[in-house]
Amino acid sequence: MHPASFGYHAPRSLVEAFGLLREHGEDAKVLAGGHSLLPAMKLRLTQPEVLVDLRHVSGLSGIRVDGDTLVIGALTTHTEVSTAEAVRRSLPGLADTASVIGDLQVRNRGTMGGSVAHADPAADLPVTLTALDASFVLTSSEGERTVAADEFFVDFFTTALEPHEILTAIRIPLPPSPARTSYAKLPHPASGYVVVSAAAALSVDDAGACTAARVVLGGVAGTPHRATAAEAALTGQELTPEVMTAAAAQAADGIDPHADSYADEDYKRHMAVVYARRAIEAAAARA
Protein backbone atom coordinates (compact mmCIF):
# COMPACT_ATOMS: atom_id res chain seq x y z
CA MET A 1 0.00 0.00 0.00
CA HIS A 2 1.26 3.44 -0.91
CA PRO A 3 0.15 6.84 0.35
CA ALA A 4 -0.99 9.57 -2.00
CA SER A 5 1.92 11.79 -3.00
CA PHE A 6 2.86 14.51 -0.53
CA GLY A 7 5.45 17.21 0.04
CA TYR A 8 8.00 16.84 2.83
CA HIS A 9 9.71 19.49 4.94
CA ALA A 10 12.23 19.00 7.74
CA PRO A 11 12.42 22.33 9.58
CA ARG A 12 15.33 22.97 11.95
CA SER A 13 13.43 25.21 14.34
CA LEU A 14 9.97 25.74 15.74
CA VAL A 15 9.80 29.14 14.03
CA GLU A 16 10.42 27.45 10.67
CA ALA A 17 7.82 24.77 11.50
CA PHE A 18 5.21 27.39 12.46
CA GLY A 19 5.85 29.19 9.15
CA LEU A 20 5.19 25.96 7.23
CA LEU A 21 1.99 25.27 9.18
CA ARG A 22 0.78 28.82 8.53
CA GLU A 23 1.63 28.55 4.83
CA HIS A 24 -0.10 25.20 4.25
CA GLY A 25 -2.92 25.40 6.82
CA GLU A 26 -5.09 22.29 7.03
CA ASP A 27 -3.23 20.72 4.06
CA ALA A 28 -0.22 20.16 6.35
CA LYS A 29 0.33 17.59 9.07
CA VAL A 30 3.08 17.38 11.61
CA LEU A 31 5.16 14.18 11.52
CA ALA A 32 6.67 12.79 14.73
CA GLY A 33 7.39 9.04 15.00
CA GLY A 34 5.12 8.29 12.03
CA HIS A 35 3.73 5.15 13.64
CA SER A 36 0.11 6.30 13.49
CA LEU A 37 0.23 8.89 10.71
CA LEU A 38 2.06 6.82 8.07
CA PRO A 39 -0.19 3.73 8.38
CA ALA A 40 -3.23 6.04 8.13
CA MET A 41 -1.74 7.67 5.01
CA LYS A 42 -1.03 4.29 3.44
CA LEU A 43 -4.66 3.32 4.01
CA ARG A 44 -5.65 6.71 2.55
CA LEU A 45 -7.58 7.49 5.73
CA THR A 46 -5.77 10.81 5.66
CA GLN A 47 -4.09 12.50 2.70
CA PRO A 48 -2.07 15.52 3.85
CA GLU A 49 -0.45 17.44 1.01
CA VAL A 50 2.54 18.36 3.14
CA LEU A 51 4.34 16.72 6.06
CA VAL A 52 6.27 18.86 8.52
CA ASP A 53 8.78 16.53 10.15
CA LEU A 54 9.62 17.64 13.70
CA ARG A 55 12.55 15.29 14.28
CA HIS A 56 15.25 17.87 13.47
CA VAL A 57 13.75 20.57 15.68
CA SER A 58 15.87 20.75 18.80
CA GLY A 59 14.44 21.04 22.30
CA LEU A 60 11.40 18.86 21.71
CA SER A 61 12.59 15.69 23.40
CA GLY A 62 13.90 14.75 26.81
CA ILE A 63 12.64 14.46 30.36
CA ARG A 64 13.37 16.96 33.12
CA VAL A 65 12.11 17.91 36.56
CA ASP A 66 10.94 21.52 36.88
CA GLY A 67 10.17 22.13 40.57
CA ASP A 68 7.25 19.87 41.40
CA THR A 69 6.49 19.07 37.76
CA LEU A 70 7.88 16.45 35.39
CA VAL A 71 8.25 17.89 31.90
CA ILE A 72 8.40 15.49 28.97
CA GLY A 73 9.22 16.81 25.50
CA ALA A 74 6.62 15.88 22.90
CA LEU A 75 9.18 14.03 20.74
CA THR A 76 10.30 11.78 23.61
CA THR A 77 9.84 8.15 22.57
CA HIS A 78 7.84 5.55 24.46
CA THR A 79 11.10 3.66 25.18
CA GLU A 80 12.71 6.77 26.66
CA VAL A 81 9.67 7.30 28.90
CA SER A 82 9.50 3.67 30.03
CA THR A 83 13.21 3.48 30.91
CA ALA A 84 13.88 6.95 32.38
CA GLU A 85 14.92 6.76 36.02
CA ALA A 86 12.98 9.95 36.87
CA VAL A 87 9.79 8.40 35.50
CA ARG A 88 10.30 4.96 37.03
CA ARG A 89 10.97 6.49 40.43
CA SER A 90 8.32 9.21 40.52
CA LEU A 91 5.57 7.97 38.23
CA PRO A 92 5.92 4.19 37.89
CA GLY A 93 2.41 3.91 36.44
CA LEU A 94 3.52 6.07 33.51
CA ALA A 95 6.64 3.98 32.90
CA ASP A 96 4.47 0.84 32.98
CA THR A 97 2.08 2.39 30.46
CA ALA A 98 4.80 3.31 27.97
CA SER A 99 6.32 -0.17 28.30
CA VAL A 100 3.16 -1.96 27.08
CA ILE A 101 2.65 0.09 23.91
CA GLY A 102 2.95 -2.02 20.76
CA ASP A 103 6.31 -3.73 20.35
CA LEU A 104 9.92 -2.63 20.73
CA GLN A 105 10.05 -1.11 17.25
CA VAL A 106 6.91 0.93 17.90
CA ARG A 107 8.21 2.08 21.29
CA ASN A 108 11.56 3.09 19.79
CA ARG A 109 9.94 5.35 17.18
CA GLY A 110 6.56 6.39 18.58
CA THR A 111 6.47 9.56 20.66
CA MET A 112 4.44 10.68 23.63
CA GLY A 113 3.34 13.83 21.78
CA GLY A 114 2.29 11.81 18.74
CA SER A 115 0.20 9.45 20.81
CA VAL A 116 -1.48 12.29 22.67
CA ALA A 117 -2.13 14.36 19.51
CA HIS A 118 -3.47 11.33 17.64
CA ALA A 119 -5.98 10.68 20.48
CA ASP A 120 -6.83 7.13 19.48
CA PRO A 121 -9.50 5.89 21.93
CA ALA A 122 -7.62 2.56 22.02
CA ALA A 123 -4.28 4.19 22.95
CA ASP A 124 -2.58 3.77 26.31
CA LEU A 125 -0.91 7.07 27.21
CA PRO A 126 -4.00 9.34 27.13
CA VAL A 127 -5.56 7.19 29.87
CA THR A 128 -2.63 7.40 32.26
CA LEU A 129 -1.88 11.04 31.49
CA THR A 130 -5.49 11.90 32.38
CA ALA A 131 -5.18 9.98 35.66
CA LEU A 132 -1.97 11.88 36.40
CA ASP A 133 -3.71 15.22 35.76
CA ALA A 134 -1.19 16.06 33.04
CA SER A 135 -1.44 19.18 30.95
CA PHE A 136 -0.29 19.79 27.43
CA VAL A 137 1.72 22.74 26.17
CA LEU A 138 0.40 23.86 22.77
CA THR A 139 2.67 26.28 20.97
CA SER A 140 2.21 28.41 17.87
CA SER A 141 3.70 31.56 16.37
CA GLU A 142 1.23 33.45 18.57
CA GLY A 143 2.58 32.01 21.82
CA GLU A 144 1.84 29.18 24.17
CA ARG A 145 -1.22 27.84 26.00
CA THR A 146 -1.53 24.95 28.43
CA VAL A 147 -4.57 22.67 28.35
CA ALA A 148 -5.41 20.13 31.06
CA ALA A 149 -5.98 16.52 29.98
CA ASP A 150 -9.61 16.71 31.12
CA GLU A 151 -10.22 19.37 28.44
CA PHE A 152 -7.64 18.32 25.84
CA PHE A 153 -9.26 15.07 24.68
CA VAL A 154 -12.44 16.13 22.91
CA ASP A 155 -13.70 13.05 21.00
CA PHE A 156 -12.48 10.09 18.94
CA PHE A 157 -9.19 11.22 17.32
CA THR A 158 -10.03 14.84 18.22
CA THR A 159 -8.18 17.13 20.61
CA ALA A 160 -8.03 20.80 21.52
CA LEU A 161 -5.00 21.23 19.20
CA GLU A 162 -5.54 23.80 16.43
CA PRO A 163 -4.02 23.07 13.00
CA HIS A 164 -1.39 25.82 13.43
CA GLU A 165 -0.32 24.56 16.87
CA ILE A 166 2.37 22.07 17.85
CA LEU A 167 2.26 20.09 21.05
CA THR A 168 5.68 20.83 22.47
CA ALA A 169 5.63 19.34 25.98
CA ILE A 170 3.64 17.36 28.50
CA ARG A 171 3.65 18.63 32.10
CA ILE A 172 2.83 16.21 34.92
CA PRO A 173 2.54 17.22 38.58
CA LEU A 174 4.89 15.09 40.66
CA PRO A 175 3.01 13.26 43.41
CA PRO A 176 4.36 13.14 46.94
CA SER A 177 6.44 10.06 47.60
CA PRO A 178 5.54 7.20 47.55
CA ALA A 179 3.97 7.56 44.13
CA ARG A 180 0.86 5.43 43.99
CA THR A 181 0.26 5.27 40.26
CA SER A 182 -0.53 2.27 38.11
CA TYR A 183 -1.85 1.06 34.77
CA ALA A 184 -3.68 -2.16 33.89
CA LYS A 185 -4.42 -3.10 30.27
CA LEU A 186 -6.50 -5.74 28.53
CA PRO A 187 -4.81 -5.77 25.10
CA HIS A 188 -6.50 -6.88 21.91
CA PRO A 189 -4.95 -10.28 21.13
CA ALA A 190 -4.18 -9.35 17.52
CA SER A 191 -3.34 -5.64 17.53
CA GLY A 192 -2.13 -5.17 21.10
CA TYR A 193 -4.15 -1.96 21.34
CA VAL A 194 -6.43 -1.36 24.34
CA VAL A 195 -9.70 -3.28 24.58
CA VAL A 196 -10.22 -1.89 28.07
CA SER A 197 -7.65 -0.33 30.37
CA ALA A 198 -7.53 1.56 33.65
CA ALA A 199 -5.10 3.94 35.29
CA ALA A 200 -5.13 4.99 38.93
CA ALA A 201 -3.37 7.76 40.84
CA LEU A 202 -3.94 7.78 44.59
CA SER A 203 -2.76 10.07 47.38
CA VAL A 204 -2.64 8.61 50.86
CA ASP A 205 -1.95 10.48 54.11
CA ASP A 206 0.20 9.30 57.02
CA ALA A 207 -2.83 7.78 58.73
CA GLY A 208 -3.48 5.59 55.67
CA ALA A 209 -6.52 7.46 54.38
CA CYS A 210 -6.90 8.15 50.67
CA THR A 211 -6.96 11.94 50.28
CA ALA A 212 -7.36 12.09 46.50
CA ALA A 213 -8.05 9.57 43.77
CA ARG A 214 -8.16 9.70 39.99
CA VAL A 215 -9.35 6.56 38.22
CA VAL A 216 -9.54 6.66 34.44
CA LEU A 217 -10.76 4.08 31.93
CA GLY A 218 -9.60 3.57 28.34
CA GLY A 219 -11.37 1.81 25.49
CA VAL A 220 -14.88 2.56 26.75
CA ALA A 221 -15.52 5.96 25.13
CA GLY A 222 -14.12 8.33 22.54
CA THR A 223 -11.90 9.91 25.17
CA PRO A 224 -10.34 8.74 28.46
CA HIS A 225 -13.22 8.33 30.92
CA ARG A 226 -12.96 9.57 34.52
CA ALA A 227 -14.63 6.99 36.79
CA THR A 228 -15.85 9.66 39.19
CA ALA A 229 -18.06 7.37 41.29
CA ALA A 230 -15.07 5.09 41.94
CA GLU A 231 -12.92 8.12 42.77
CA ALA A 232 -15.50 9.38 45.28
CA ALA A 233 -15.80 5.93 46.86
CA LEU A 234 -12.03 5.87 47.52
CA THR A 235 -11.59 9.41 48.77
CA GLY A 236 -11.50 9.73 52.55
CA GLN A 237 -11.34 5.97 53.03
CA GLU A 238 -8.67 3.60 54.24
CA LEU A 239 -7.68 1.49 51.22
CA THR A 240 -8.83 -1.88 52.49
CA PRO A 241 -9.58 -4.69 49.99
CA GLU A 242 -13.31 -4.19 50.63
CA VAL A 243 -13.15 -0.45 49.95
CA MET A 244 -11.16 -0.96 46.74
CA THR A 245 -13.48 -3.70 45.46
CA ALA A 246 -16.56 -1.61 46.23
CA ALA A 247 -15.04 1.43 44.50
CA ALA A 248 -14.07 -0.56 41.40
CA ALA A 249 -17.60 -1.98 41.22
CA GLN A 250 -18.74 1.60 40.48
CA ALA A 251 -16.15 2.19 37.74
CA ALA A 252 -18.53 1.30 34.94
CA ASP A 253 -21.30 3.61 36.22
CA GLY A 254 -22.45 5.87 33.42
CA ILE A 255 -20.32 4.39 30.66
CA ASP A 256 -21.82 3.50 27.28
CA PRO A 257 -18.99 1.59 25.60
CA HIS A 258 -18.95 1.12 21.83
CA ALA A 259 -19.01 -2.51 20.70
CA ASP A 260 -16.58 -3.87 18.13
CA SER A 261 -15.98 -7.24 16.51
CA TYR A 262 -13.96 -8.42 19.52
CA ALA A 263 -15.82 -7.02 22.55
CA ASP A 264 -19.48 -6.18 23.05
CA GLU A 265 -20.81 -3.55 25.46
CA ASP A 266 -21.47 -5.94 28.37
CA TYR A 267 -18.00 -7.47 28.13
CA LYS A 268 -16.38 -4.03 28.14
CA ARG A 269 -18.51 -2.94 31.10
CA HIS A 270 -17.46 -6.05 33.03
CA MET A 271 -13.80 -5.64 32.09
CA ALA A 272 -13.93 -1.98 33.14
CA VAL A 273 -14.71 -3.11 36.68
CA VAL A 274 -12.05 -5.85 36.62
CA TYR A 275 -9.30 -3.57 35.28
CA ALA A 276 -10.27 -0.65 37.51
CA ARG A 277 -9.88 -2.96 40.51
CA ARG A 278 -6.49 -4.16 39.27
CA ALA A 279 -5.28 -0.61 38.74
CA ILE A 280 -6.54 0.63 42.12
CA GLU A 281 -5.02 -2.33 43.98
CA ALA A 282 -1.70 -2.00 42.16
CA ALA A 283 -1.52 1.73 42.91
CA ALA A 284 -2.39 1.18 46.59
CA ALA A 285 0.29 -1.51 46.87
CA ARG A 286 2.98 0.93 45.72
CA ALA A 287 3.86 2.09 49.20
CB 270 within 8 A of CB 195: no
* Cα 72 to Cα 170: distance, rounded to the nearest angstrom: 5
Among 3, 19, 62, 102, interactor with ligand FAD by CB under 6 A: 102
Q: Residue 29 is inside which H or E element, if any? A: strand 28-31
137 binds ligand FAD (CB under 6 A): no
| Part in contact with ligand FAD (CB under 6 A); list of ranges 86-94, 119-127, 205-213, 240-248 | 119-127
* Cα 112 to Cα 212: distance, rounded to the nearest angstrom: 26
**Neighbouring-strand partners of residue 146:** 137
CB 243 within 8 A of CB 237: yes
CB 213 within 8 A of CB 107: no
CA-closest candidate to residue 39, choices 100, 97, 118: 118
Among 21, 87, 117, 217, interactor with ligand FAD by CB under 6 A: 117
166 binds ligand FAD (CB under 6 A): yes
Pick between residue 31 and residue 72 the one whose CB is nearest to ligand FAD.
Answer: 31
Q: What letter represents residue 40's amino acid?
A: A
Pick between residue 45 and residue 259 the one whose CB is nearest to ligand FAD.
Answer: 45
Query: Per-residue x/- mask for ligand FAD, residues 26 to 65, rule CB under 6 A?
Result: ---xxxxxxxxx-x--------------x-----------
CB of 3 to ligand FAD, least distance (A): 12
Pick between residue 32 and residue 94 the one whose CB is nearest to ligand FAD.
Answer: 32
* Cα 164 to Cα 155: distance, rounded to the nearest angstrom: 19
79 binds ligand FAD (CB under 6 A): no
CB of 27 to ligand FAD, least distance (A): 12
Pick between residue 14 and residue 276 the one whose CB is nearest to ligand FAD.
Answer: 14
CA-closest candidate to residue 35, choices 93, 96, 113: 113
* Cα 51 to Cα 37: distance, rounded to the nearest angstrom: 10
CB 79 within 8 A of CB 58: no
CB 218 within 8 A of CB 205: no
* Cα 31 to Cα 248: distance, rounded to the nearest angstrom: 38
* Cα 77 to Cα 60: distance, rounded to the nearest angstrom: 11
218 binds ligand FAD (CB under 6 A): no
Distance (Å) of CA 94 to CA 6, 70, 145, 158: 35, 11, 24, 22
Among 94, 98, 101, 244, interactor with ligand FAD by CB under 6 A: 101
CB of 213 to ligand FAD, least distance (A): 24
| Part in contact with ligand FAD (CB under 6 A); list of ranges 5-13, 100-108, 249-257, 277-285 | 100-108
110 binds ligand FAD (CB under 6 A): yes
CB of 278 to ligand FAD, least distance (A): 18
| Part in contact with ligand FAD (CB under 6 A); list of ranges 10-18, 24-32, 65-73, 196-204 | 24-32
192 binds ligand FAD (CB under 6 A): yes
Interface contacts to ligand FAD, rule CB under 6 A: 29-37, 39, 54, 74, 101-102, 106, 110-111, 113-115, 117-118, 120, 123-125, 161, 166-167, 192-193
